[in-house]
Amino acid sequence: MRLYKFLCLTVGLIGISVSTNAQDQNFNLNLLSNWDIDTMPNAGNVVYNDCWGYVDCSGGEYAVMGSASYTHFFDLSDPTAPAEINYFAGGNTTIWRDYKSYKNYIYGVCDSCTEGLQVFDMTTAPDSVVRVLQTDEFFGKSHNIFLDTLNAKLYCPGTNTQSNGLVILDLSETPENPTLLSSIELPGGYVHDLYVRNDTAFCSHGFNGLYVYDMADPLNPVTLGIIDDYPQSGYNHSSWLSVDGNHLIMADETHNKALKIINTEDLGDMEVTDLFRSTLLAPNDTASIVHNPFVLGDLVFLSYYHDGVQVYDFSDPTNAVKVASYDTETGNTDYAGFKGCWGVYPYLPSGTIIASDVQNGLFLFETENLNLDPVSANTTPIVSINQSETVEICEDEVLDISIEGAAEQIDWYFNEELLASGDELSISDQGTLYAVAFNGHCSITTESIEIIEIVVPISTPAFNLEEAYCPGDSVLLEVEENYETYAWFIDGQPVEGNTTNSLVISESGQVSYDYGIENCTETSDNYELIFEESPTMMITVDGYNLTAPSAGVSFQWYFNGTVIDAAVEQTYFAAQTGDYSVQFTTTAGCDYLSEITNIVNSINNVEHVDIKLYPNPVDLDKILLSNDSFDNMPYEIIDLTGKIHSKGIIQDREIQLNKESPGIYILQIKDGQILYSSRFTKI
């Protein structure tokens, strides 16, 4: 039966005042909770050992802690009440267990055991944790492990298969089932612990000191530097590198020995810049002993056996300053033995600090008035494609697609094959597209979108254009009716209001049209329509010799609106007093009626007066005269050929136009010897 001893403390209820920094501010570690079981197995006087932390792809935080016989996993959703979600027996009871994480896996080893390597899959946490591997293929025991996450290498020191060096495992292809890279002896001999960054390994060789190796080739390590003669040297146990790589916090696991800050800018000439240590029991006893350092920004978190968690600011590497602490072994009265804090983990994004105590179990803290460098963890990206589930594109159209949201990497798959990587994509093909977004190992696959290509059939216009058209003519342009949209353009400008398959045009210009289906359009060729410009309508008068406008190629003369027989030349001699006009045809076949020219000779004397009428052009069935002085007078409407279309008597200034089709006409009103006339256009 497992009896839980569980302590939950209100945030801020218990705090340990510590030394001040340069601004004379107080810092605290506040206890959030303590998890302990009274009936746990023990190895000697050790019940619990190392701890580590993990963040899942949803941002959930977890702690893992070893005990003499088990590996325990905790959900830290509520750090004031950590929930044990699973525990695993390895097969032995031992003092030493160690853990590290990579992607969604936790790796665990033990010393003085035969359990080998254990791999735990955290994918299903917090519901459960799955042990996916336990193998002694590479070793039965390993004192601890370290992960070079950048290169996916697991370093295993202190193994039974390589007692004077390292076993190095490859996690890059199958992290759930590592493969062996090398088992290599090192010049420093037995490795107790190590820190590795990008293939540079800082190896603690116990009483032989610290050796630094280039491990880029795991079969052929290169020694970069050694520090084995330094102040207060002891059993070189473990170390951690500063963020900038210029200094190393080094711990000797020996009573009454200080921690060292090592300048590592020149690995071939490393030197100690500062010595510092906890003296919680001073002045009576100063023989404290440190276990492990962990660097976060300019702070180093220390698991100090008898003095609990100690935090120092080493922003000045020549003068480390204590800024926070919490004693996890309050019953300690001297620095004998190895009771107290075994491990500490300060890398959770929430700022919660994990610690383990040899006899008192799991501790969770929060910092107060202590600014921690932010820690980012890989979480599942929240992304989407900025398109609907079905996207229609037109033939040869390029579709620009992008991801909404942020991710470290975006891979695009088109018809199930990897197409490209990046935040944006341009595509012009038909098929199925989706993206996979990654933050580290955390990934999400977007919804698929279906890209459909719309092909618009080519239009064949149903019109044939003549070389030229006459003024006043209207040309009907028609195209097929099997399109959904139409738009017409004259000289590149849209014809407003016309969205049909036909256009009536009565002016010169380049005509084109857009036609489309399902929002896809094509543009036709340009078609040139030429309307002849209206020539001059004036007859040239030289005495009684009349000359028709020069634009004509054929002619017909009129006298007082009546055809003059055989008068078909460009010139005509006006032998009588009266009104003369000429109908002429241009090379384009356009017919025009000249303006009326009044000629006065000895035969007759008729006065010609213009009439004012409106509207002109007229689109009604009648026209109006400007005044009523012509009421009750007779009128005639004559076309350009001289043919009388209608006649009648003017009433109320109105003249009816019931018989006239569109064209140009002449209105004549005769009052005795005075002839009134005016030209108008019916549209």
Residue ranges per structural domain of the chain: 4-368, 384-454, 475-529, 540-682
DSSP H or E run through 413: strand 409-414
Q: Which of 65-69, 390-394, 605-609 has the highest mean pLDDT?
A: 65-69
Q: What pTM does this model have?
A: 0.70
In CATH terms, the superfamily for domain 384-454 is: Immunoglobulins (2.60.40.10)
* Cβ atoms of residues 393 and 453 within 8 Å: yes
Exposure pattern of 225-262 as b/e (b: 16+ CB <10 Å)? bbbeebeebbbbbbbbbbeeeebbbbbbbbbebbbbbb
DSSP track, 263-321: E-SSGGG-EEEEEE---TTTTT-----EEEEEEETTEEEEEETTTEEEEEE-SSTTS-E
Q: Which two three-digit tokens encode residue 462?
A: 């149903």
Candidates 412, 294, 436; CA nearest to 354 is 294
Q: Which CATH architecture has domain 4-368?
A: 7 Propeller (2.130)
The whole-chain average pLDDT of the chain stands at: 90
pLDDT band at 13 (very low <50, low <70, confident <90, very high): very low
If one compares 671 and 380, the residue with the highest pLDDT of the two is 380
> How does pLDDT run across 243-298, given as a tens digit for each residue?
999 999 999 999 999 999 999 999 999 999 999 999 889 888 899 999 999 999 99
Q: ω before 662 within 30° of 0 (cis)?
A: no
> How does pLDDT run across 396-441, given as a tens digit for each residue?
899 999 999 999 999 999 999 999 999 999 999 999 999 999 999 9
Residue 543 confidence (pLDDT) above 80? no
> How does pLDDT run across 60-105, given as a tens digit for each residue?
999 999 999 999 999 999 999 999 999 999 999 999 999 999 999 9
Residue 5 confidence (pLDDT) above 80? no
Instruction: Output the CA–CA distances (angstroms, integers) from residue 31 to 226, 302, 421, in the order listed.
Output: 40, 16, 46
Rounded to whole angstroms, the Cα distance separating 573 from 553 reads 19
| Residue 474 CB coordination number (10 Å) | 12
Could you give the percent of the chain with pLDDT greater than 70? Answer: 93
